[in-house]
Amino acid sequence: MEEEMTGPAPEGTGQVIVRAEGVRHSYGRTEVLKGIDLEVHAGEVVCMIGPSGSGKSTLLRCVNHLEVISSGRLWVDGHLVGYRQKGNRLHELSDKEICRRRAGVGMVFQQFNLFPHMTVLENLIEAPCRVLREPKKEVTERALGLLRQVGLSEKHGAYPAQLSGGQQQRVAIARALCMRPKLMLFDEPTSALDPELVGDVLDVMRALARSGMTMVVVTHEIGFARDVADRVVFLDDGKIVESGPSGQVISSPRHERTRAFLAAVR
Ligand code: ADP
Ligand code: MG
């Protein structure tokens, strides 16, 4: 991973890529996000930690239009996402608009979700060719460059089932990057991996962070959060309990619940 990743977001512009103000979300009658305030600036890496069920995945899903927030306001790359109140969608986006906005956000899940019937290279070029309608030749060149950056050049013709979990996850990251997103969301990207495969995936993410990509990473890898994140956010029971520079939150958490969580995962 010597080579620098190609990241679009220039560092130090101060541009806000994600802004949440009092964001709430419920599944039926159960409220799982209880007023989230958060800002993520261009080039920033924010790691989100917290117990299972605290709402981390739901928050990422709201940012990527996979859930509709029930109140508050959420902007992604300067655009307000749809919201509804009391069952009525007040600010509704068309499917086409949602599709266009999602194209600018890469999402990597715990389960790699590659297309099983496509080769690695086909997985990478599918969305840029079909959704962005970019020329195949150009996309293919970009895809091969990305595969080189994640250390999988020689695997471009392989099918997902022929790869290890760690390799599949690196393909999933390269596939997301092939869309040239402004923002990358990671939801426990190493949680499904055998321990010996975790390092390679974290190395790819570390290189991506260094390249200036804006990233929100849900992870239990506290070492990664400490070393790579600009900011760590601790979520518990649908609320941000604590947020601050990674070193401070991890080494000297202010809140008892953060301390208890960190003691349990380390
Ligand atoms: P985390 O990612 O921090 O583990 P989640 O965002 O997945 O938390 O879940 C937050 C809460 O919402 C949990 O109590 C979970 O059981 C509940 N939840 C998640 N997804 C759904 C769903 N599709 N329907 C109903 N409840 C859900
Ligand atoms: Mg989750």
- Is 226 within the bounds of a domain? yes
- Nearest ligand, CA 187: 2
- Is 205 within the bounds of a domain? yes
Q: Are 244 and 235 in contact (CB under 8 A)?
A: no
Q: Are 183 and 76 in contact (CB under 8 A)?
A: yes
Ion ligand 2 neighbours, Cβ < 5 Å: 57
- Is 148 within the bounds of a domain? yes
pLDDT tens digits, the chain, 266 residues: what are they?
Answer: 333 443 343 444 469 999 999 999 999 999 999 999 999 999 999 999 999 999 999 999 999 999 999 899 999 999 888 777 655 556 778 888 888 899 999 999 999 899 999 999 999 999 999 999 999 999 999 999 999 999 999 999 999 999 999 999 999 999 999 999 999 999 999 999 999 999 999 999 999 999 999 999 999 999 999 999 999 999 999 999 999 999 999 999 999 999 999 999 97
- Is 130 within the bounds of a domain? yes
Q: Given this model, what pLDDT does residue 87 score?
A: 56
Q: How far is the CA of 50 from the centre of ligand 2 (A)?
A: 9
Domains of the chain: total: 1
Return the closest-CA partner of residue 68 out of 33, 109, 111, 41: 33
- To test the ligand 1 pocket, which listed residue (31, 48, 58) has its Cβ within 8 A of the most ligand atoms? 58
- Is 8 within the bounds of a domain? no
- Is 1 within the bounds of a domain? no
- Is 11 within the bounds of a domain? no
- To test the ligand 1 pocket, which listed residue (26, 27, 34) has its Cβ within 8 A of the most ligand atoms? 27
- Is 207 within the bounds of a domain? yes
Which range of residues forms the domain containing residue 132?
16-265
Instruction: Indicate which CATH number applies to the domain containing 135.
Output: 3.40.50.300
Q: Given this model, what pLDDT does residue 3 score?
A: 38
Q: Given this model, what pLDDT does residue 56 score?
A: 98
Q: Given this model, what pLDDT does residue 266 score?
A: 79
Cβ < 6 Å from ligand 1: which residues?
27, 32, 50, 52-58
ipTM surpassing 0.90: yes
In a 3-state reduction of DSSP, which class is residue 257?
Answer: helix
